[in-house]
Amino acid sequence: MSNLNNVHFKFLPLSMRVLFSMALLVFGLGYNMAMIQVWENHAGKDGDPMLSGKDLMIAYGGNPEGTKLETSLRGSMADMLPAEKRQVIFDWLHNGANPEEIETKINPILQEHCVACHNPEANPHLPNYAKADGLKSVIAKDEGMTIPTLVRVSHIHLFSITFIFFIVGFIYTHAYVRPTWLKCVVIAMPFLTLITDVASWYLTKVWSGFAWVVIGSGALMGTAFTIMWFTSMYQMWLGKVPAEVGEDGKIPCIR
Ligand code: HEC
């Protein structure tokens, strides 16, 4: 069998099926980790612990009513201090963040709960709360992720996710799926939604409704991944050879 193109899974050498399955296994784990990571990074930014469109609007587009300090204290920094002290900070922010109250009201909380990490020796890249003026950068209006950050994250996403779906899609080409257009749509979907996903990160800054395009793209991408993963695994190991597949293992072409 010199040419394995268009050959059904069951006619591939065992070694190749093992290779495909192991790659799918690790990609499947990776996909789940990626979902946990999205959750950890974004859920709760709007105050509600579930992941919502509002969370993504804040993450990408910013929060006109909020500051980075409040967003963080409702998100990844929420567990760093007791709720009643969080409330002291929120009340202070909502009452106009009076600079005269920093020394008396806010600084003691920062010293006790934040400075262990937020100081130049421990983490040079974080806002420094060892000095009172370190607060300034995080009490300005929250503009969401900056364009340079988005550019960095998007080029990594575009390259690495293309690799993943090239491999997963290539494995899936060995599946028997009818109608053929459906098979092609499932293969194309992750690449198209990757583009709409990344584009919507930027567009959310212009109109926050694009956060829903981010969510929709992610859902479609995940659906395509799931279909390719389970169809490939099933046809490789469990399913019978479909009657339409020829003696030589070729999946008949539709012209
Ligand atoms: C255990 C270490 C640790 C403690 C304690 C901690 N932080 Fe952080 N903080 C981090 C890390 C790491 C990041 C960057 C990653 C992230 O945003 O989750 C961060 C990010 C932030 C940011 C976002 C900064 C930015 O420019 O994006 C804010 C605001 C913040 N912390 C506020 C606080 C406040 C207020 C406290 C105290 C109540 C606190 N943190 C306590 C480790 C800590």
Are 131 and 171 in a shared domain? no
Residue 122 lies in a domain: yes
Are 124 and 199 in a shared domain? no
Domains in the chain: how many in total?
A: 2
Q: Which of 72, 86, 102, 112 maximizes ligand 1 atoms within 8 Å of its Cβ, making it the mutation to test the pocket?
A: 72
Predicted confidence (pLDDT) at residue 1 exceeds the cutoff of 50: no
Are 33 and 150 in a shared domain? yes
Ligand 1 mean position, distance from CA 86 (Å):
13
Are 96 and 157 in a shared domain? no
Mean pLDDT to the nearest integer, 83-110: 89
Residue 31 lies in a domain: yes
Final residue in a domain of this structure, among 142, 170, 199:
142
* End-to-end CA separation in angstroms for the chain: 23
Structure tokens at 185: 């749509």
Ligand 1 mean position, distance from CA 57 (Å):
20
Tally the residues of the chain: 255
Are 171 and 202 in a shared domain? yes
Q: What range defines the domain where residue 122 resides?
A: 63-142
Final residue in a domain of this structure, among 142, 177, 192:
142
Ligand 1 mean position, distance from CA 169 (Å):
39
Whole-angstrom Cα distance, residue 79 to residue 91? 18
Are 115 and 157 in a shared domain? no
- The pLDDT score that the predictor gives to residue 11 is 93
Residue with tokens 């006109």: 64
Are 149 and 223 in a shared domain? yes
**Which protein residue's CA is at the shortest distance from atom 35 of ligand 1?**
114
Residue 135: other Cβ atoms inside 10 A: 23
pLDDT classification of 132: cutoffs 50, 70, 90: low
Whole-angstrom Cα distance, residue 25 to residue 29? 6
